[in-house]
């Protein structure tokens, strides 16, 4: 949980901005730090790849870091404070908690440091742009596929990755709302949260299957959630439709083997690239779109090797 002690520490770091910033501003290259949600999943490595690509092409100094896992909100806040204390030209943030980062974003705004949100927005209009997937629409597509694959009726469940990040909230709501609207004969028996951790999500899935032996399908809302669902289904020997989100070798292998019906993939390289591109533009006083939609795609065994899909998948 975000604490007062962390806020005091963050304020102290920001108090150093005026002095520490002069050196940063004197650098030959623009300095743009990106603070991600973590490095737990291959998704973030792909985002970093895109950010580094943009940095190299645009001639700016890009750094990319995040906490060890997607529950460490305090650690992410510390990283953001440290980055802001260096008076960057702009900063990118993929907020673990859409509320907890706002005090620091207000400080950034006061210091005239443009903020670019990526992957997940925040509950504020401070970010001048957000580079992300339309997660509501992407999850709705996953719901449509689930409805089709289980014949439009039966019990299903959701193993989501977060109640505090907007990606978690939007994917949950996008999926649940689409099922309720289009498939009245499908019952969502539960929505559980595994923090994007595959081990926790595995145990949650096993409990869901034990309580609902007649369940027909489970949706995992990010890479860690989906792998947890897959592992739980394997361990229980269940026969259910598994739909995932994101990519990674484990999901790709499961889709090729038929253990997973399919998944939604984002464009993580594009997210990283567009975040840096927008940061450079706003730092130069240029106008950028408020929302940069980086796209999403459904992939399954039938199209996983198609060029347009292979280009947005990663291991």
What's this model's pTM, rounded to 2 decimal places?
A: 0.86
The neighbour count for residue 46, using CB atoms within 10 Å, is 24
Overall average pLDDT of the 113-130 stretch: 96
Q: What is the pLDDT of residue 40?
A: 75
173: buried, middle or exposed (CB in 10 Å: 19+, 13-18, 0-12)? middle
> By the 8 A CB rule, do 174 and 213 touch?
no
pLDDT-based confidence at residue 25 (cuts at 50, 70, 90): very low
173-196 pLDDT, tens digit per residue, is 999 999 999 999 999 999 999 999
Structure tokens at 201: 């999500």
pLDDT-based confidence at residue 27 (cuts at 50, 70, 90): low
Tell whether the model's pLDDT for residue 12 goes beyond 80.
no
72-111 pLDDT, tens digit per residue, is 999 999 999 999 999 999 999 999 999 999 999 999 999 9
Provide DSSP, 268-312. HHHHHHHHHHHHHHHHTT----SEEE---EEEETTTTTSHHHHTT
- Express as a percent the part of the chain with pLDDT over 70: 91
Closest by Cα among 306, 146, 305, 310 to 240:
146
262-299 pLDDT, tens digit per residue, is 999 999 999 999 999 999 999 999 999 999 999 999 99
Of 10-19, 154-163, 273-282, 303-312, the least confident: 10-19
Overall average pLDDT of the 160-165 stretch: 96
195-244 pLDDT, tens digit per residue, is 999 999 999 999 999 999 999 999 999 999 999 999 999 999 999 999 99
DSSP H stretches of helix in the chain: 4-15, 17-25, 42-58, 73-85, 102-110, 135-149, 166-182, 198-211, 223-236, 249-257, 268-283, 307-310
The neighbour count for residue 3, using CB atoms within 10 Å, is 12
User: Could you tell me the CA-to-CA distances from 22 to 79, 113, 160, 228 in Å, in that order?
Assistant: 20, 14, 43, 47
């Amino acid at each position: 949980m975000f604490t007062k002690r962390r806020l005091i520490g963050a304020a102290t770091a920001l108090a150093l901005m005026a002095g520490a910033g002069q050196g940063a501003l004197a650098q030959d290259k623009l300095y743009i730090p990106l603070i991600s949600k973590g490095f737990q999943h291959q998704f973030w490595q792909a985002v970093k790849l895109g950010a580094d690509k943009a940095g190299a092409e645009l001639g700016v100094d890009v750094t990319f870091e995040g906490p060890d896992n997607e529950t460490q909100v305090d650690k992410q806040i510390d990283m953001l404070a440290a980055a802001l204390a260096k008076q960057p030209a702009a900063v990118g943030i993929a907020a673990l908690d859409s509320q907890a980062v706002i005090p620091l974003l207000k400080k950034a705004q006061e210091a005239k440091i443009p903020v670019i949100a990526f992957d997940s927005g925040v509950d504020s209009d401070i970010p001048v742009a957000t580079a992300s997937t339309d997660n509501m629409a992407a999850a709705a597509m996953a719901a449509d596929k689930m409805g089709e694959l289980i014949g439009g009726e039966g019990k299903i469940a959701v193993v989501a990755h977060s109640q505090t990040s907007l990606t978690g909230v939007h994917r949950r709501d996008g999926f649940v709302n689409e099922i309720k609207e289009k498939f009245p004969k499908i019952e969502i028996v539960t929505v559980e949260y595994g923090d994007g951790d595959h081990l926790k999500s595995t145990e949650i899935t096993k409990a869901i299957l034990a309580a609902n032996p007649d369940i027909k399908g489970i949706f995992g809302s990010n890479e860690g959630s989906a792998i947890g669902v897959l592992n739980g289904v394997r361990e229980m020997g269940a026969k259910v439709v598994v739909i995932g989100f994101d990519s990674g070798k484990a999901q790709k292998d499961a889709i090729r083997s038929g253990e997973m019906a399919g998944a939604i993939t984002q464009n993580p390289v594009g997210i990283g690239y567009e975040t840096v591109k927008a940061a450079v533009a706003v730092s130069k006083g240029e106008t950028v779109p408020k929302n940069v939609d980086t796209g999403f795609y459904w992939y399954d065994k039938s199209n996983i090797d198609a060029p347009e899909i292979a280009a947005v998948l990663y291991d």
